[in-house]
Amino acid sequence: MVKDEVSRAAVPLDRDVFMRTLLRELSGTLQDVVGLEEASGYISVVGAAIGEQLDAQYRKALSVDRLTREQVAQVLVDLKARIEGDFYVVEEREDRIVLGNRACPFGEKVRDRPALCMMTSNVFGHIAAENLGYARVSIEEAIARGDPGCRVVVYLVPDDNPDPDAREYFRQADV
């Protein structure tokens, strides 16, 4: 039967592959049409919304009003592990959390799509700022840019000479 033959065809497609391909093509189209900076801006909006949702879920699950610095570091690692990233804490100090990464949740689909790194920046920045008051995220190395891994620094105190490519995040006013 044709139906059986088609369903057994060696086509590497499932929901995950389809969704990552969709995001790759959407981000690529944005980068091509409006440029990398504007594409990153659009993706930042989505990342902020996801960061807000994840922050609320972790706080509720841990029964806390605010996460500590140590909890923030572990939440950032855990949320990436849950979506098949391989982030780990390189360094944790009063003024920063440095993370490394060996595998992007977007897999090979992230190559040449640095705008997708704004998801990481915004999720990390939102969670850190909401719980600790302030964050500035610098993506020093990125698989999306061709590096073998990622290096993400989440600064927790303002700096007089920040990296111009870093993005700042502030706790939203308590309503």
- Cα 10 to chain centroid distance, Å, stands at 32
Q: What are the pLDDT tens digits along the chain (175 aa)? A: 677 889 888 888 889 989 999 999 999 999 999 998 898 888 999 999 999 999 999 999 999 999 999 999 999 999 999 999 999 999 999 999 999 999 999 999 999 999 999 999 999 999 999 999 999 999 999 999 999 999 999 999 998 777 888 999 999 866 4
Contacts of 99 (CB under 8 A, 6+ apart): 73, 76, 77, 87, 88, 89, 90, 124, 150, 151, 152, 153, 154
What CATH superfamily classification does 2-170 receive?
A: Trafficking protein particle complex subunit 3 (3.30.1380.20)
- Cβ distance 91 to 97 under 8 Å? yes
Distance between CA 88 and CA 98 in Å, rounded? 9
**pTM, whole model, 2 decimals?**
0.89
Residue 142 DSSP symbol? -
